[in-house]
């Protein structure tokens, strides 16, 4: 049976990275990353939007330690 989720990048079994080329990151993209983190058992994720002038403006860091606790940090 083939998995329905496809993680863009997984680094050292520690970080899930979602690559996007969008005008802006929407709540659905955050929900997608949170789902991947939950299903993979990872706590750290990044959404990288490559459609920005300065890359640091396109990075969103998400830390998921517990289902009730969520930390979001924008570039």
**pLDDT per residue as tens digits for the range 12-58:** 989 999 999 999 999 999 999 999 999 889 999 999 999 999 999 99
Residue 71 confidence (pLDDT) above 70: no
Of 28, 72, 10, 21, whose CA–CA distance to 51 is shortest? 21
Q: Is residue 3 part of a domain?
A: no
Domain of 51, in residue numbers: 9-74
Residue 12 and residue 16: Cα distance in Å, rounded?
9
Phi/psi region, residue 41 (left: phi>0; alpha: psi -120 to 50; beta: rest), is left
Q: How many distinct structural domains can be found in the chain?
A: 1
Q: Is residue 1 part of a domain?
A: no
Residue 66 confidence (pLDDT) above 60: no
């Amino acid at each position: 049976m083939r998995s329905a989720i496809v993680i863009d990048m997984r680094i050292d079994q520690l970080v899930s990275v979602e690559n996007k080329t969008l005008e802006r990151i929407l709540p659905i993209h955050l929900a997608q990353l949170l789902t991947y983190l939950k299903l993979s058992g990872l706590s750290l994720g990044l959404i990288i939007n490559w459609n920005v002038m300065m890359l640091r403006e396109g990075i969103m860091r998400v830390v998921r330690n517990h289902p009730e606790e969520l930390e979001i940090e924008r570039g």
